[in-house]
Amino acid sequence: MTTSDQPDYFTPSSSTALLTDKYELTMVQAALAAGTADRRCVFEVFTRRLPPGRRYGVLAGTGRVLEALEVFRFGDAELAWLERADVVDRRTLDWLAAYRFSGSIRGYAEGEIFFPGSPVLVVEGTFADAVILETLVLSILNYDSAVASAASRMTSAAGTRPCLEMGARRANEQAAVAAARAAVVAGFQGTSNLEAGQRYGLATIGTAAHSFTLLHDDEEQAFRAQVDALGPGTTLLVDTYDVTRGVERAVAIAGPGLGAVRLDSGDLGQQAVEVRAQLDALGATGTRITVTSDLDEFAIASLASAPVDSYGVGTSLVTGSGAPTCSMVYKVVARENGAGVMEPVAKASASKASVGGRKSAARVLDRAGRAEAELVVSGSDAAVDAWQPGDGQRGLLVDLVRDGVADAAYTGPEGVRRAAEHHARVRAELPATALRLSAGDPALPQRSLLLD
């Protein structure tokens, strides 16, 4: 039996509409029946906490949310399955068939720093229009921001040395594409991931693995094959057998113009010192050293004084360096009541209480332009809508979607480029303590302003 006559189980759907928890749809069904589906609502994405010890988070994925929204459509295939699987009733199927998000979304610009309580995304529309986006919005922001938050610590620890993303093999195959993108938002300079390169116009990197050396009868044959094909500017992996002999062979074959050598095992700091001395002695003073073995922000920091020229980071990056997801939630904070009046709402019980009401936010800066607090404004819908940041306050919410139409400046390759620039700019505002890798409290205190 072969799979040649099988359906294509693998390729993700061209619609994002089923990347959704079932209860979003059953809630729509119940609200349609109750006549409450059209009540105007404000949903807010925020996190109650940063991962233990982290001083700031980095928002990533906003551009992907807008891109996902464009293809959030219940087409014939989705509707046929929902009917067959008896997920919702006919009335709801008809509503889903016509669904286009027609509300508005504001949020922190992608690449922005966030803290507990920061209203990073504010979705406004009817209940049904907005609730149905919950799962997809959170999937995107929680993973992408987890990666970007880890990546920012790495690029900060690396200083001016480039960090390169190579974690695809340690993440789900599609998550890997998002991870590469999020890493670049937070300052990485390239990725090994070709799909990410294609989709978002990212620089791609990589030359050869140990298997290439092992394929050949000996290391010399392998290096010669690589240099012949990729030129002397290539990066040779020198630790398959013996590093010292590997470096010697590498320079002998490629000449002193060899682009770089890569170290992927052992004590990277000590080896880098030895390899640098050896390269210099061989006249290969311009040959760079790149290291790639199980790096995280702490390993990068510990290599600061070693003669390393770039860092390739995999596992710890794509798994958020100990925090593989943010704990962002998507909560209704205001809604129209039975009388048509907008009211703040919040869950009251136990451990998951939240602050009701629409929010806005600003970063409070001192005279030198240094961030000193996160101002979160809440209150009545109209008052918060009308609020504007004052002197020494940088407003944090930007318009992302108006009346269902996304601002293309935040999507695609251009969106990634802007987000990376934004991140570099706003990270530079933070106080120096924010960039310490050691465990600590959030770098900025939150100030609350309650409007009537």
Considering only residues 220 to 239 of the shown chain, the ones binding a second copy according to CB under 8 A are 221, 224-226, 228-230, 239
76 contributes a contact to a second copy by CB under 8 A: no
Strands 358-365 vs 371-379: parallel, antiparallel or unpaired: antiparallel
Nearest residue (CB) to a second copy, 296 versus 429 = 296
The residues, any chain, with a CB within 8 Å of residue 183's CB and separated by 6 or more, are 147, 148, 151, 163, 165, 191, 313, 317
Interface residue with a second copy among 345, 373, 437, 451 (CB under 8 A) is 345
Q: Which helix (H) or strand (E) holds 261?
A: strand 260-263
276 φ/ψ angles, rounded to the nearest 5 degrees: -60, -45
125 contributes a contact to a second copy by CB under 8 A: no
Nearest residue (CB) to a second copy, 209 versus 277 = 209
102 contributes a contact to a second copy by CB under 8 A: no
160 contributes a contact to a second copy by CB under 8 A: no
49 contributes a contact to a second copy by CB under 8 A: no
> Which residues ranging from 201 to 220 are in contact with a second copy (CB under 8 A)?
204-212, 214-217
358 contributes a contact to a second copy by CB under 8 A: no
What region does 77 belong to: left with phi over 0, alpha with psi -120 to 50, or beta? alpha
Cβ-based neighbour number of residue 327 at 10 Å: 15
- C-alpha 350/C-alpha 364 separation (Å) is 32
Interface residue with a second copy among 58, 138, 342, 396 (CB under 8 A) is 138
Nearest residue (CB) to a second copy, 99 versus 364 = 99
62 contributes a contact to a second copy by CB under 8 A: no
The residues, any chain, with a CB within 8 Å of residue 292's CB and separated by 6 or more, are 166, 262, 263, 264, 311, 312, 313, 314
The closest alpha carbon to 78, from 58, 103, 96, belongs to 96
Stretch that binds a second copy, among 103-111, 148-156, 189-197, 279-287 (CB under 8 A): 189-197
Stretch that binds a second copy, among 103-111, 273-281, 328-336, 377-385 (CB under 8 A): 328-336
Residue 302 near residue 253 (C-beta atoms within 8 A): no
Amino acid at 413: P
Per rule CB under 8 A, count of chain residues that contact a second copy: 135
Greatest CA separation for the chain: 82
Interface residue with a second copy among 169, 370, 425, 447 (CB under 8 A) is 169
Stretch that binds a second copy, among 115-123, 341-349, 359-367, 427-435 (CB under 8 A): 341-349
Amino acid at 242: D
Residue 360 near residue 374 (C-beta atoms within 8 A): no
Interface residue with a second copy among 99, 116, 240, 437 (CB under 8 A) is 240
Nearest residue (CB) to a second copy, 111 versus 312 = 312
100 contributes a contact to a second copy by CB under 8 A: no
- C-alpha 294/C-alpha 145 separation (Å) is 21
Nearest residue (CB) to a second copy, 207 versus 302 = 207
